[in-house]
């Protein structure tokens, strides 16, 4: 594996894992406020969101950016060992 892939926070993470992580961290209501798409606000489910995100590159990009920023925020809060 090259160095660029090793530093990519999305490498090896599925879209379903990203959605489950975001829903657990934010909940559907906050997620729908951060990313204004109907599959997050109108009868939301991971499965319906995955279906939409796989067909809609701009929405998937927003979800991936939120995931990365959430990971970075969590890493900043982590205590040093």
Q: Both tokens of residue 73?
A: 């925020």
Q: Do 19 and 28 meet the contact criterion of CB atoms below 8 Å apart?
A: no
Cβ-proximal residues to 62 (8 Å cutoff; 6+ apart), any chain: 35
| Residue for token pair 């890493």 | 75
Give the tens place of pLDDT for each residue, 12-63.
Answer: 999 999 999 999 999 999 999 999 999 999 999 999 999 999 999 999 999 9
pTM score, whole prediction: 0.84
Cβ-proximal residues to 19 (8 Å cutoff; 6+ apart), any chain: 46, 49, 50, 53, 63
């Amino acid at each position: 594996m090259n160095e660029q892939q090793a530093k990519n926070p999305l490498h090896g993470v599925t879209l379903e894992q990203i959605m489950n992580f975001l829903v657990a961290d934010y909940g559907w209501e906050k997620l729908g406020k951060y990313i204004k798409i109907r599959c997050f606000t109108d009868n939301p489910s991971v499965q319906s969101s995955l279906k939409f995100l796989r067909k809609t590159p701009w929405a998937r990009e927003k979800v991936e950016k939120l995931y990365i920023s959430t990971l970075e925020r969590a890493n900043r809060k982590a205590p040093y060992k």
